[in-house]
Chains A and B, each alone.
Chain A
Amino acid sequence: QQQVRQSPQSLTVWEGETAILNCSYEDSTFNYFPWYQQFPGEGPALLISIRSVSDKKEDGRFTIFFNKREKKLSLHITDSQPGDSATYFCAASDSSGSWQLIFGSGTQLTVMP
């Protein structure tokens, strides 16, 4: 049973375009949603995160939009750069419960120059 789903599985955009990565979840107790970025041969690294009390979180070119009612969120990467090419994982947890993060299956983003 997949508690956190991501789409698309892979995405290709041109340099300068906006990439939109989607995520949905099932467990209504989830209230913390980090996005991790992973480059080949490395471990994931935190990119940006949001708590369920907010509907938007912005950090430079990266923005999370969160819809609690629909249990959906998305990561928007504006002015995409070739260096953004990586796999992006949406994750979720119940911050008052177990400390384990539930990860989605990831979106592999390729930014063409």
Chain B
Amino acid sequence: NAGVIQTPRHKVTGKGQEATLWCEPISGHSAVFWYRQTIVQGLEFLTYFRNQAPIDDSGMPKERFSAQMPNQSHSTLKIQSTQPQDSAVYLCASSAGTGGAAETLYFGSGTRLTVL
């Protein structure tokens, strides 16, 4: 089991460009989460899916950010018109999806996004 796989590990974009981050959850896991990590804000919840359906996107900035899960083997986080304040490590996590909020989250190593 390779764990949660996130690609790319590092991404550098210019201000105003689009960035797409990819996540492959652990096989068999039905819940996928996106978090953003910065020194100042720490670990911030963005959104999560269960059985590919979006369940809670309360942490997503309403403009420019969108997440999808087109199939059970991958999810994407897209940031349009990137801004320097979007620079962060974006973490994807998955869980079995059967035990509710008390389940273990398995995190990937993250994608470090740098917006110049």
Q: Which residues of A contact B31 (CB under 8 A)?
A: 99
Taking a contact as CB atoms under 8 Å apart, the answer to whether B42 and A51 are in contact is: no
The smallest beta-carbon distance between B7 and chain A, in angstroms, is 14
Taking a contact as CB atoms under 8 Å apart, the answer to whether B105 and A94 are in contact is: no
Taking a contact as CB atoms under 8 Å apart, the answer to whether A95 and B43 are in contact is: no
Taking a contact as CB atoms under 8 Å apart, the answer to whether A46 and B104 are in contact is: yes
Contact of B107 among A44, A96, A100, A105 (CB under 8 A): A44
Taking a contact as CB atoms under 8 Å apart, the answer to whether A94 and B43 are in contact is: no
The range of chain B's interface size is 20 to 34
Taking a contact as CB atoms under 8 Å apart, the answer to whether B101 and A43 are in contact is: no
Q: Report which residue of A34, A101, A104 has the largest number of chain B beta carbons within 10 angstroms of its beta carbon.
A: A101
Taking a contact as CB atoms under 8 Å apart, the answer to whether A105 and B42 are in contact is: yes
- In angstroms, Cα B56 to Cα A106, docked, is 24
Contact of B4 among A43, A51, A99 (CB under 8 A): A43
Q: Which residues of A contact B35 (CB under 8 A)?
A: 103
Taking a contact as CB atoms under 8 Å apart, the answer to whether A95 and B102 are in contact is: yes
- In angstroms, Cα B7 to Cα A44, docked, is 17
A-B interface contact total, Cβ < 8 Å? 69
Contact of B65 with A by CB under 8 A? no
Interface of B is mostly: strand
Q: Report which residue of B4, B58, B59, B105 has the largest number of chain A beta carbons within 10 angstroms of its beta carbon.
A: B105
Taking a contact as CB atoms under 8 Å apart, the answer to whether B58 and A43 are in contact is: no
Q: Contacts A32-B101, A46-B104, A95-B102 hold; do A100 and B4 have CB atoms under 8 A apart?
A: no
Q: Contacts A99-B31, A99-B56, A100-B45 hold; do A45 and B100 have CB atoms under 8 A apart?
A: no
Per-residue contact bits, chain B 31-51, to A (CB 8 Å; 1 contact, 0 not): 101010000001111001010
Kindly list 7 other residue pairs between chains A and B, CB separation below 8 angstroms, not including A94-B101, A95-B102: A43-B93, A43-B110, A44-B105, A45-B106, A89-B42, A97-B101, A101-B45
* 3 A-B pairs closest in CB distance: A43-B107, A103-B43, A93-B101
Residues of A with Cβ closer than 8 Å to B?
32, 34, 36, 41-46, 49, 51, 89, 93-106
